[in-house]
Structure 1
Amino acid sequence: MPCPHFKISIVKRSQGQSAVAGAAYQSGERLFSEYDQKTKFYNKKKELVHTEIMLPPNALPGYADRATLWNAVEAVENQGNSQLARRIVLAFPVEVPKEQYLSMIKEFCQEQFVSKGMIADFAIHDKGDGNPHAHILLTLRTMDEHGRWLPKARKVYDLDENGKRIQLPSGNWKCHKENTVDWNDQKYAEVWRHSWETITNRYLEAAGRPERVDLRSFERQGIQQIPTVHLGPAAHQMEKRGIETFLGNLNRDIQAANSLMQSIRNTIRGLQRWIADLTEKKQILLDALEQAKEPTLSDLLVDYFNLRNEQRSEWSSKAQIKCTARDLAEVMQAVDYLKAHSLNTVEDLNQAIDSLNQTADPLRRQLKQNESRMRSIAQIKDAAAIHAKLKPIHDTFIKKNFKLTKDAYASQHKDELDAFNKAVRTLMKLNGGTTVENSALDAEFSALQSDSAELHTQLETLQPDISALKNIRKYIDMVMNKQQLSAPGGKTPEKESVLKKLEEAKAAQSQKKTEQKNHAQEL
């Protein structure tokens, strides 16, 4: 299953954000903010399914009221750069019945947050567009046994080797700050993701679904796959209306590349596993028949042809002739392939598969690099367009000098400023700055696209060899007891397999030798 959405962020006053506004947005309630003396309201009736506040045992009962809770949070945070709350947005799998979403999110919040002393305010949203999700707001301060907010950090004096305070030249005592809780440690992002992954997979299993989720990145999962690009609401709506977009076309190219690479990779891995197993089976065959030389691949193909004829001994003459002619054509084609590539033994076949893998592997790696860079270029261009569009709003925000008017402007343009800041972060990460040379990026993208098309062609030329090797594997598998032959009507013949006969003969021979030895000792 594709990696579901799971985003963690902090509500920051320094960015004009408000915990009351965040609670109003996800709950659809009309909430009055005592901090800026404004009413916050976002109409979410069409998508709102359920809202709830979960309190730890030591929280004041009054905090079950949303306005009371988040106004209390904002009141205790008196700095202009205070962190107000933690926000988590996560997706529900559509494969799980909707009536189970509530128990899923409550189990998650209780286990990971409320049991640790946090207050969890969550809301389930579902527009019916295939994207059911939940918003969670979490408090950042812990509380004492009376429900009073405790400091986020405390001052701790540094001590010397004698356990005494260290005085600085200024006369002050050397000290440092220590967090009262470790909720902000980065390790918890992984813990929370893994917990939601575990809960989700448990509910999928209970629903009888085969899908499973993994919230790790493709790289961390060891999956050699190129991630697709996030379309965004505008491109997503255009694609839904059947209008092709730049990002949509890129995603389709990435999906095609992933499909081709995965197909070739799986086939080669299957052939390699089969070769390893076949080598072991071949040794049993040699020992049982006590042959001085190993059978050639052509010999095994002839054995396959004979076995097929044996299995059809009770068929009608017409059916025998028809199927024998078909098998003969297939075997001759396989034998011709073996001769053309000088493949005589299992070791030769193993080397051919290894050579095929060595040819395909660098092509796959280069294709992955190309597609990843094309993905980055698409993200840079998308971020640059958002940056250019929203820069006037951001510039107006920066020019405002009075705190109240600045906060009011930030609240009014929250979504635009958030999108602008996200675009800046993307450009700094992928482009090294906000200045973008579109012509150079377009030229690079075009060159990468051409190179990827050539790599696609080269990978596709390997498909005939892969198909031929798969067919040879199928034929030899039948001889080496890897598959059973089926008679018409779906009945499996009761005849013993060749390998089983050989193993029984070997066992009987060994038993006979043991009996002869015992008999000689008795004499």
Structure 2
Amino acid sequence: MAIYHLSIKIISRGKGKSAVAASAYRSGEKIKNEYDGIVHDFTRKGGIAHTEILLPQNAPQEFANRSVLWNSVEKIEKSKNSQLAREIEIALPKELDREKQIELVRNYVKENFVDVGMCADIAIHDKNDGNPHAHILLTMRPLNEDKTWGAKSKKEYILDENGEKVKLKNGNYKTRKINTVDWNEQDKAEHWRKAWADIINKCLEENSIQDKVDHRSYQRQGIEQIPTIHLGVSATQMEKKGIATDRGNINREIRKQNRILQEIKLRIKALLNWVRRIGKEEKENDNLTSPLPPKENLLSVFENLIRKNADNHNTDLEQYIESYQFLKEKNITSVSELKESIVILRDKNYKTTRAIKDTEKKIDDRVQLIDHAKKYLKHKDTYTAYTKLKKNKQDTFYNEHTAEIILFESAKKYLKEHLGENKTLNISKWKSEIGTLRKEKDTLYSQMIDIRKKVEQAESVRSCIDKLLQEKRELTQVKKQELGL
């Protein structure tokens, strides 16, 4: 099954990052950063399936060398907090072979980035762990027609109502910054995300693969479905070997719940369509010939059915009794009231689905906090040792402890984003909250099963009424034949 993933992040000098280091790591090459003199050697890194650089027409040809390209970026960006590059990471369809994956990425990058003036450094990674993906490093500064770097922004004077420049108290004129390109516009991310989904779907269709992906969340798609959680590389590998993991078990439970929720939704929809059809038939037919006249009490109809079949040991008797009990319990006396009851079930199912989704998200949030907190604590000492080293020794240490440092930085970033300034890693509290939330989810799950039972009862009523209608039609047909009509 094709999956969709696209993430965007900025490589910023202000956060201690380097475009040269990022390129060297993703391409598995050895590159010296002329900005600070550090040599980044990742030639021993495995899993590099393909690398290439795509350039716009007004880029110098020497930029085809990633060392030249990214050192040029490092040189032109003077500020200590400069944004050096934009990285887009995308999951590749496993259904496609390597050649088609490369072509897919190349077309996407060319159409969306290179053709508008960005230089793109592509690296496809695949460790044969079921997670082929591509890293795309993009330049953030436009190029001039003479193949030199252009400005990211320019100043524009702010004018008053008379078209005059507005003078400030310090004697300067009021200005505002205008971006020279629209690459940082908020809607660009959505555009790039959709474009990736579109090009994947087109490629899958061209290769006679039925799968489709969607860049939108379930909520935006209007799908009332509980999203599964991200397994991660280690859990994925264990699951492939037949070893059950906690995350795998969670996803299996979520898929089971989604099947039930979808089943209930479809069955309720079918019931409502049936009720509308019955109502339409009642309006079209003469009430005197209808087995279910609007004013007739449904309870009376089923009481008569039960009496009629009581002595005949009819196989439908049990169903008639169950349907009667359901109608009596809900005090349903007409088809319109039956419809109202089904609508209530539909609304309750919707609310239960949303509640389960919200609860599942809260559980996943805490699971993620625990996972990242454990990684943070596990690799903290390694990262501290790394930061205390001199610049000329850091690169060697980084090469030896790449995974630990990346995991620590990722965990640190996640915890900061989700905890803010609160640095307390209260793992025991989060575990306790997960236990409480799972009990809430179990209660909601029981409600979902109860809704399904009530849907079954409503379907039983439908079945009985359909039999009545069919008998009436057959009887009417016989009478017509007797009368020679």
Same fold (TM over 0.5): yes
Q: Do 2:41 and 2:399's aligned partners in 1 also have CA atoms closer than 8 Å?
A: no
1:450 corresponds to 2:405: no
Q: Which residue of 2 aligns with 1:514?
A: none
Question: Is the Cα–Cα contact under 8 Å of residues 11 and 87 in structure 1 kept in the other structure?
Answer: yes
CA distance 1:277–1:373, shift in 2 (3 Å): same
Alpha-carbon distance, 1:75 to partner: 2.0
Matches within 5 A, 1:342-353: 342=328, 345-353=334-342
Residue 473 of structure 1 and its aligned partner are, at CA, apart by 4.0
Task: Give the counterpart of 1:423 among 411, 415, 419.
Answer: 411
**How far does the alpha carbon of each residue in 1:392-418 deviate from its partner, in whole angstroms, 9 at most, with x for none?**
244445556x66666776677665444
User: Conserved in 2, the CA contact under 8 Å of 1:118 and 1:140?
Assistant: yes
Counterpart of 1:20? 20
Unmatched tracts of structure 1, length 5 or more: 302-324, 482-496, 510-523
2:376 corresponds to which residue? Answer: 387
Unaligned runs of 5+ in 2: 303-311
Instruction: Please provide the CA RMSD for this pair.
Output: 3.8
| 1:436 maps to 2:425 | yes
Query: What is the Cα deviation at residue 63 of structure 1?
Result: 1.7
Alignment correspondent of 2:134: 134
Displacement after TM superposition at 1:199 (Å) = 1.1
Per-residue deviation, 1:424: 3.2
| Match of residue 332 from structure 1 | 317
After superposition, residues 185-200 of structure 1 pair within 5 angstroms as 185-200=185-200
After superposition, give the CA deviation of every residue in 1:144-176 in whole Å (9 maximum; x if it has no partner). Answer: 111111121223333444444444333444333
Say if 1:13 and 1:82, in contact at 8 Å, map to a contact too.
yes
1:116-135 equivalences in 2 (<5 Å): 116-135=116-135
Larger Rg: 1
Question: What is the identity, as a one-letter code, of the residue corresponding to 2:410?
Answer: K
The 8 Å contact of residues 55 and 64 in structure 2, kept in 1 or not, is answered as: yes
- The offset of 1:291, in angstroms, is 8.6
Deviation at 1:197, TM superposition (A): 0.9
Q: CA–CA distance in 1 between the matches of 2:29 and 2:410? A: 27
Q: Is the 8 A contact 1:193 1:215 kept in 2?
A: yes
Aligned twin of 1:202: 202
Residue 307 of structure 2 corresponds to none
When residues 418 and 168 of structure 1 are mapped into structure 2, their CA distance, relative to the original with a 3 A threshold, is: farther
Alignment partners' CA distance in 1, 2:68 and 2:401: 25
Asked whether the 8 Å contact 2:291–2:468 carries over to 1, the reply is no
Equivalent position of 1:57 in the other structure: 57
Q: 2:363 aligns with which of 374, 380, 384?
A: 374
Tell me what 1:212 maps to.
212
* Pairwise CA distance, 1:104: 1.9
The one-character-per-residue Cα deviations of 1:101-160 (angstroms, maximum 9, x if unpaired) are: 233222211221111111122233333333222221111111111111112122333344
Change (3 A) 1:61 1:429: closer
Displacement of 1:192: 0.3
Contact 1:397 1:410 in 2 (8 A): yes
| 1:445-471, Cα deviation, whole Å (9 max, x unpaired) | 222222322332332233333234335
Does the 8 A contact of 1:296 with 1:346 survive in 2?
Answer: no
Using a 3 Å threshold, how does the CA distance of structure 1 residues 57 and 226 change in structure 2: closer, same or farther?
same
Match of 2:78 in 1: 78
Are the counterparts in 2 of residues 153 and 178 from structure 1 also a CA contact under 8 Å?
yes
1:84 partner SS = strand
The code of the aligned residue for 1:185 comes to E
Contact conserved, 2:319 with 2:464, CA < 8 A, in 1?
A: no
| Counterpart residue number, 2:343 | 354
Bigger mean CA deviation after superposition, 85-94 or 160-169: 160-169
SS, match of residue 95 in structure 2? coil
Cα deviation code 1:419-443 (max 9, x no counterpart): 3343234334444523122232222
Q: Distance in 2 between matches of 1:111 and 1:231?
A: 32
CA displacement 1:10-67 (0-9 Å, x = unmatched): 122233322223323333344343332414324456550x332222111112222222
8 Å Cα contact 2:28-2:48 kept in structure 1: no
The share of aligned pairs that are identical, in percent, is 36
Mapped to 2, the partners of 1:65 and 1:166 lie a distance apart of 47
- Structure 2 counterpart SS, 1:121: strand
For 1:167 and 1:358, locate their aligned partners in 2 and report how far apart those are by CA, in whole Å: 60
Describe how 1:27-106 pairs up with structure 2 within 5 A: 27-35=27-35, 36-43=37-44, 46-48=47-49, 50-96=50-96, 98-106=98-106
Offset of residue 271 of structure 1: 2.0
Change (3 A) 1:40 1:461: same
TM-score by length of 1: 0.76
With 469-478 and 31-40 compared, the bigger mean Cα shift is at: 469-478
| Alpha-carbon distance between aligned partners in 2 of 1:87 and 1:187, rounded to the nearest angstrom | 17
Q: TM-score, normalised by structure 2?
A: 0.82
| Alpha-carbon contact 2:386-2:394 (below 8 Å) kept | yes
Structure-2 separation of matches of 1:159 and 1:93:
52
Matched to 2:321, the amino acid is D
Work out the number of aligned pairs and report it.
465
For the Cα contact (< 8 Å) 1:86–1:140, is it kept in 2? Answer: yes
Tell me whether 274-283 or 112-121 shows the greater mean CA deviation: 274-283
Matches within 5 A, 1:500-515: none
CA distance in 2, matches of 1:216, 1:25: 30
* Contact 1:58–1:144 (8 Å) recurs in 2: yes
Alpha-carbon displacement from aligned partner over 1:299-342 (angstroms, at most 9, x marks no partner):
999xxxxxxxxxxxxxxxxxxxxxxx99x52x333322221124
